[in-house]
A = this chain, B = another copy of it.
Amino acid sequence: MAAAIDFYFDFSSPYGFLASQKIEALAKKYGRAVDWHPVLLGVIFKETAMAPLTMIPLKGEYSKRDFARSARFHGVDFRMPSKFPIATMAAARIVLWLKGRDPALAARVAKALYRAYFLDDVDISDPEHAIAVAASAGVDANEARAAIGEPAVKEQLKREVEQAIARGVFGSPYIIVDGEPFWGVDRFDQIERWLATGGF
């Protein structure tokens, strides 16, 4: 099997959510697996002196409209959460901790966390909410709670974000296919051609 597709995302990213609902089908079509990399845009934005999309004048208003329209365009259910953006450390730590044990479960939990935030308006910045979502996807709640507070897991997330920045990740979703970087769910058409042709 060819190398996995690296899928970098922040749980607070609407375009990341849309991409999370489509990436596995796209990868599977070309015999690829998906490596889920939760990162923290807040840390990355400090590096790039960027601001959350919705806080930028003019662009912010456009973005809210484009989130919903892009969701309809891609056939993905979506609702703008009432609290936005949110801190996503707890959710990211749960997923990273699970990756070391059971990558398939980590992917299912990542998608469940995204759906909780963007479909059910659950504030997953609250660790207890993130734990409850993970538990409903089959994770032991007490183990997840312990993992969030575990120094090794905190360190793992810190390293993941540093490595992401070192690889050029500046936004979400950010997808790397065989070394080629693609930013945004609106690059899925280019990703698909890249996968189909081996590069263009």
The A interface, classified by DSSP as helix, strand, loop or mixed, is: helix
- Kindly identify which residue among B57, B73, B169, B186 contacts A58, using a CB–CB cutoff of 8 Å: B169
Residue interface bits A33-76, CB-to-B below 8 A is 1, else 0: 00000000000100111110000111101100110011011000
Interface residue A158 (Cβ < 8 Å from any Cβ of B): no
* A66 and B183 contact, CB distance less than 8 A: yes
Q: Check A186/B186 contact, CB under 8 A, given A47-B58, A58-B170, A169-B58.
A: yes
Interface size class of A (residues with CB under 8 A): 20 to 34
* A56 and B65 contact, CB distance less than 8 A: no
How far is A183 from B193 in the complex, measured between Cα atoms in Å?
22
* B62 and A56 contact, CB distance less than 8 A: no
- Kindly identify which residue among B47, B73, B181, B193 contacts A65, using a CB–CB cutoff of 8 Å: B181
Interface residue A189 (Cβ < 8 Å from any Cβ of B): yes
Chain B residues closer than 8 Å to A181, beta-carbon distance: 62, 65
Q: Check A70/B190 contact, CB under 8 A, given A48-B57, A62-B181, A62-B183.
A: yes
The smallest beta-carbon distance between A181 and chain B, in angstroms, is 6
How far is A59 from B172 in the complex, measured between Cα atoms in Å?
12
A interface list, Cβ under 8 A from B: 44, 47-51, 56-59, 61-62, 65-66, 69-70, 72-73, 165, 168-171, 181, 183-184, 186-187, 189-190, 193, 200
